[in-house]
Structure 1
Amino acid sequence: MVVNNIKSNLMELGFSENEAKAYIALIMENPSTAYDIAKRSAIPSSKIYEVLSRLKERGAVFETDSSEKRKYLPIPADELVATHKTRIDSTLADLKSGLNALASNADLSFLRTITVYAQLIDKAKQVISDASQTLLISLWPQEMALLRAPLEAAIARNVKIAIVHFGETDTAIGKMYCHPLVTTIQIEHGGRGLIVCADSDEVVFARIASLDNAEGLHSTSRGFVTMAEDFIRHDIYVMKIVNRFSIELKNSFGENYELLRNVFKDDTL
């Protein structure tokens, strides 16, 4: 599994499958002859020299100086990663600059639908990473685990963070408000919710029934962002009241505040 993941990551960097397999084989045992690399990586011997030649062009491997059989060494993994990171960062910076130069000055407020869970999480991470002033967030433990690193980085940038977390947690990031009605809310909404609002400018708003059944929106629409922020602020206002007057509220509205949550009536016990 680990090797397969490494191979996939190398292919994301532009390596062919055989190039990735050869580099991994060489990292695991070196120096090695082309024959040994082909044997360990299951690359046909008729193709191994072509594969090694391309890796040499990439700067990923080099030959040893030896009077014996020609042998190959990989560049260290840290050096390979650092080299590609520098190239990718430079390419992305140039791309961003070029695309911004081409972009029109039209209003780009929009609602983008996202229905793939991994893409929702990636977009949420990006929104958090781009925040410079404030983050208002509502989430569940599953998403907290995935977003914790960028949230901690935001704290390090002095971004103010307030989080409504469904269920108890030991995590301490910004100001945490633990929502008690976990089961009730999940049944009513048919899944978990995720809201990430950054700087009052951008929002990810999603409902997650399962990893295979997620739907959400990403938007910079001022109206939609304001609505999402108000949703979170309202929950926080309620949490502050519940934390101070829990006994009185339960005596009036029921153990799970069911009478409070019934907006079509104004009854008490």
Structure 2
Amino acid sequence: MLQQFGFTQYESQVYECLISDGMALDATAIVKQSGVPRAKVYEVLHRLSEKGLILESTIEKKRLYTALPIETTIEKLKTDFEKNVEKLRNRKRKAAPADDRVWTLKDNSSIQSVLKDMIGQAESSIFISGWTDDLQNYLPLLEEKSKSGVTVKIHTIGVLDTSISEVSTLVPDVQHDTLERSRIIIVDDREMLFAGIEESKWQAIRTQSGPLVKFFTEFFYHDIALTEITQRHQDTVMKDEKIREVLMNLRY
């Protein structure tokens, strides 16, 4: 029960024993009902007491223990978690020198968190590309940055309702069957992240490498150029079988 909150297996077993029984128990009864070895039970009880999850009392020279009610325990764990999050948020990190290594990152929620952090750290410019339903997750941050004077340019697949002026929109049709889900962000012309789906899972690379930042910046403008050409001359482009075949094989 408590292991997912950072408690040990023995701590979890003792707490579950006390909360399930509903009665005050002595160490002998706890050993019997929890399965925690007698040699460890007093150490575990001491730790739970120090963490404020159990109550202790001495009656007729017998030490008894009972657990905090479930709702009280939940409230305590939430409070502790929020305090730890605040400590982590306020912890200062030394400014890192430019790092031209390429870092890989997995897990979609982690990638999204890093992307939001990159947006938040941007000082002069943000170039970002992705699908509309995905970009919606970052739109409030992007609009806030735009209002603060940061240059924000967006390439979106699907219509995006935003106050940001520099938006290039590709409206996919049935012929765009090769379009892939991806994200690109370039921040301050010095750092980029590219994320795509491989074997049904999101994966990303992140780097401050100058050549790669330049390459993906050009790739971003490549997407915008092809989108504008295709949108403005769609009838002509789509009627030319050779041109259409080439365009439909691109990722943009």
Between the aligned partners of 2:65 and 2:240, the Cα distance in structure 1 is 74
Contact 2:158 2:171 in 1 (8 A): yes
Q: Cα distance 1:153–1:117, how it changes in 2: closer, same or farther (>3 A)?
A: closer
Task: State yes or no: 1:83 paired with 2:72.
Answer: no
One-letter amino acid matched to 1:208: I
Aligned residue for 1:181, secondary structure, equals coil
Contact 1:181 1:256 in 2 (8 A): no
Match of 2:128 among 137, 140, 155: 137
Contact 2:103 2:206 in 1 (8 A): yes
Could you say which residue in structure 2 is the equivalent of 1:197? Answer: 186
One-letter amino acid matched to 2:246: N
Where in structure 2 are the equivalents of 1:39-58 lying within 5 Å? Answer: 43-44=34-35, 46=37, 50-57=43-50
Could you say which residue in structure 2 is the equivalent of 1:63? Answer: 55
Match of 2:140 among 143, 152, 156: 152
Q: Cα distance 1:34–1:257, how it changes in 2: closer, same or farther (>3 A)?
A: farther
Task: State yes or no: 1:253 paired with 2:241.
Answer: no
Percent identity reads: 18
**TM-fit CA distance, 1:202:** 0.8
Aligned residue for 1:109, secondary structure, equals coil
**TM-fit CA distance, 1:208:** 1.5
One-letter amino acid matched to 1:133: S
Contact 1:60 1:80 in 2 (8 A): no
Could you say which residue in structure 1 is the equivalent of 2:100? Answer: 109
Task: State yes or no: 1:232 paired with 2:227.
Answer: no
Aligned residue for 1:206, secondary structure, equals strand
**TM-fit CA distance, 1:53:** 2.5
Could you say which residue in structure 1 is the equivalent of 2:250? Answer: none
Larger radius of gyration: 2
Aligned residue for 2:189, secondary structure, equals coil
Could you say which residue in structure 1 is the equivalent of 2:118? Answer: 127
One-letter amino acid matched to 1:253: V
Q: Cα distance 1:78–1:109, how it changes in 2: closer, same or farther (>3 A)?
A: same
Between the aligned partners of 1:108 and 1:252, the Cα distance in structure 2 is 45
Could you say which residue in structure 2 is the equivalent of 1:223? Answer: 211
Contact 1:160 1:174 in 2 (8 A): no
Between the aligned partners of 2:197 and 2:85, the Cα distance in structure 1 is 33
Between the aligned partners of 1:53 and 1:225, the Cα distance in structure 2 is 54
Q: Cα distance 1:167–1:195, how it changes in 2: closer, same or farther (>3 A)?
A: same
Contact 1:34 1:72 in 2 (8 A): no
Gaps of 5+ in 2: 248-252
One-letter amino acid matched to 2:218: D
**TM-fit CA distance, 1:20:** 5.5
Moved over 6 A (4+): 21-26, 64-68, 255-258
**TM-fit CA distance, 1:217:** 2.4
Between the aligned partners of 2:124 and 2:15, the Cα distance in structure 1 is 43
Q: Cα distance 1:45–1:32, how it changes in 2: closer, same or farther (>3 A)?
A: farther
One-letter amino acid matched to 2:200: L
Structure with greater helix percent: 1
Match of 1:262 among 229, 246, 252: 246
Q: Cα distance 1:120–1:76, how it changes in 2: closer, same or farther (>3 A)?
A: closer
Q: TM-score, normalised by structure 2?
A: 0.64
Gaps of 5+ in 1: 264-269
Q: Aligned-residue CA RMSD in angstroms?
A: 4.4
Q: Cα distance 1:226–1:77, how it changes in 2: closer, same or farther (>3 A)?
A: same
Contact 2:10 2:36 in 1 (8 A): no
Could you say which residue in structure 2 is the equivalent of 1:16? Answer: 8
Between the aligned partners of 1:114 and 1:193, the Cα distance in structure 2 is 14
Aligned residue for 2:123, secondary structure, equals coil
Between the aligned partners of 1:143 and 1:256, the Cα distance in structure 2 is 32
